[in-house]
Each structure stands twice: as C-alpha cells, then as structure tokens.
Amino acid sequence: MTAQPVLDFHVRLAPRPGAAARLLAALDGCGVARAVVCAGGTIDLDTLARQLVDGGHVETDADNDAVLAACAGTNGGTPANEGVAGGGNRLVPFWFGNPHRPPGAYRERAAEFRGLEISPAVHGVALTDPRVAALVRVAADSGHPVYTVCLARPGAGVADLVTLARRFPGTDFVLGHSGIGNIDFHALALIRDVPGISLETSGGYTCVAEAAIDRLGAERVVFGSEYPLQHPAVELAKFTAIGTPPAQWRQIAWENAHRLLGEEKP
C-alpha cells in the first residue's frame, strides 16, 4: 500500500538512546513519508497491561521535550518518497497531556506542538473529568487535534468521547486503535453522527477498518501504526488485504492527516 504517500498518524518515541534513529529506519523500511509522534515510555508495558484490565494510573509526566527534539529539523521526504512530505517536518510532535498537572505548561508551549494526546489508560483520568476538559480547551484555542484511546470503563468509553467532542464542536478528535478491542463496531455507531471524530485504525481487525470506511466514509479514517508496539508494515498490510481503492487509500493514508494537522494537501 505504499505506492502512494503515507503519513502514520500515531507512533511513539521513548526517551532512549537511538530511539529516533530506529523510528526513522522503520519508516524508511515501509516507505512511510511522515509520522505524528507522541511520547512513549511513560509507563512500563506490564503496568499498562494491568491497568487496562484492573484500573489504576500513574501520574508520571511524559517526556515531551524528547519528542520535540527528535522531530526538530526532520524536513523533507524519504528516499522511498522523494518530495512528498509536503513541506512540514517529517516527524510531527504531539503533546502528551497529563491531567494530574495544571494545563499551563501545555498552553505555554502549545505553539511548539501540533496536537494533544490524552490517555485514560496511562493517567487514569476520565474523559468526563474537568481536568481533561481544561487540556482540550488549550487544544481548541491552539487549533490542535486531540487523540485519545478509549477504555471499557465509566468515564473513558467512546460515548464519553462523544460527549467531550460535542462540548468542543470546532475541535477535531481522533479515536485511536479502532475503538475498544479488536471488533468495536459499536464505536462506529457511536461516533457516526459526530463528524468531528475520526477513527485511527491501528490494532483493530480488518473487518473494522473496512466497516469504518463504509460507515464513516474514507474521509474520517486515518492510518496509524502504534510503532514500536506494532510495526507499520503490519498495519499497512491490513489495507492491502481489504483491497482499499487508491482514491480512498490516499485519503486515509495522507490527505485526512494533513487536514487534521491544519496543512494543505500536498
């Protein structure tokens, strides 16, 4: 699926030696021209897995500075996608918000970043919590899209995201990981009538990706991988398997992401 340019809307970068070089090598290997980058390594995977099942949270701040440093100066395309990067940085930084902290730090530095991520799975704060609304208010004022992953627990479900999105009708939201679990057709039903919510497809089964295109329209579906937890090649293969038509694939893999980032389509 890389005959057309690809912008991976969801990769992570942990503050570890060589992480940026490994990320760029993975993108090059798959012919991915650009990627939205958010901090990783905020929580170890064993703890995260336990929190996903049992609840709980950490109050650790993500290393947003490491993300910003890695993204700085990454202008241009890739050898596999010469000249298609659209003039912006190849790696696009998002601020990983921590609702346990006041939103002032994000507001002060919003101009350095291009979007906001909120994670109930990591920080354990519900999407219905006023602290989350305060972060989203900064995103709204800054013209940033908001990325989040929902959970099957009160306050963090897709219905709660819908409520949040309706409070901020001029802000774009992205529901990550194809909703909750691998076959969340219910998420598609919940967000269908809220045009400000797009679906990012990492993690879900091919049947969900296909249904999202059919039920939401290709203009509300964005490609993401969740690298390094999932290799981009695996997620690209999903769209090859379902035979996504070239025009729809260009929307999903390239044009929609640029719209969400406030950039003109290259």
Structural domain contains residue 1: no
Q: pLDDT tier at 45 (50, 70, 90 boundaries)?
A: confident
Look-up of token digits 């798959």: 30
Structural domain contains residue 108: yes
Residue 38 clears pLDDT 50, i.e. is over it: yes
Residue 45's domain is classified under what CATH number? 3.20.20.140
**Which residue did the predictor score with more confidence, 3 or 217?**
217
Reduced to 3 states (helix: H, G, I; strand: E, B; else coil), residue 10 is strand
Q: Which amino acid is at 10?
A: H
User: How many H-runs (helices) and E-runs (strands) does the chain carry?
Assistant: 12, 9
Residue 78 clears pLDDT 90, i.e. is over it: no
Structural domain contains residue 30: yes
pLDDT the model gives residue 73: 80
Residues 87, 91, 93, CA angle at the centre, nearest 5°? 110
Q: Poorest-confidence range of 38-52, 82-96, 123-137? A: 82-96
Contact 214, 243 (CB under 8 A): no
Q: Which residues of 146-176 are buried (b: 16+ CB within 10 A; e: fewer)?
A: bbbbbbeeebbbbbbbbebbeebeebbbbbb
User: Cα-flanking dihedrals φ and ψ of residue 186, to 5°?
Assistant: -65, -35
**Which residue did the predictor score with more confidence, 76 or 20?**
20
Structural domain contains residue 149: yes
Contact 82, 118 (CB under 8 A): no
Structural domain contains residue 2: no
**Domain residue limits at 91:** 7-260
Distance CA 121, CA 101 (A): 16
Share of the chain above pLDDT 70, in %: 94
Structural domain contains residue 266: no
Region of residue 118 (left: phi > 0; alpha: psi -120 to 50; beta: else): beta
Reduced to 3 states (helix: H, G, I; strand: E, B; else coil), residue 198 is strand
Other C-beta atoms lying within 10 Å of the C-beta of residue 211: 18
Number of domains in the chain: 1
| Range 107-113 contact pairs with CB under 8 angstroms and sequence separation of 24 or more | 107/138, 107/141, 107/142, 109/64, 110/138, 110/139, 110/141, 110/142, 110/144, 111/142, 112/68, 113/64, 113/68, 113/144
- Helix 19-30 and helix 232-241, axial crossing angle in degrees, nearest 10: 20
Structural domain contains residue 147: yes
Share of the chain above pLDDT 90, in %: 84
pLDDT the model gives residue 74: 85
- Report DSSP state, residue 127: T
pLDDT the model gives residue 82: 36
Q: For the segment 80-103, what is each residue's pLDDT rounded down to a tens digit? A: 333 344 447 999 999 999 999 999
Structural domain contains residue 69: yes
pLDDT the model gives residue 52: 87
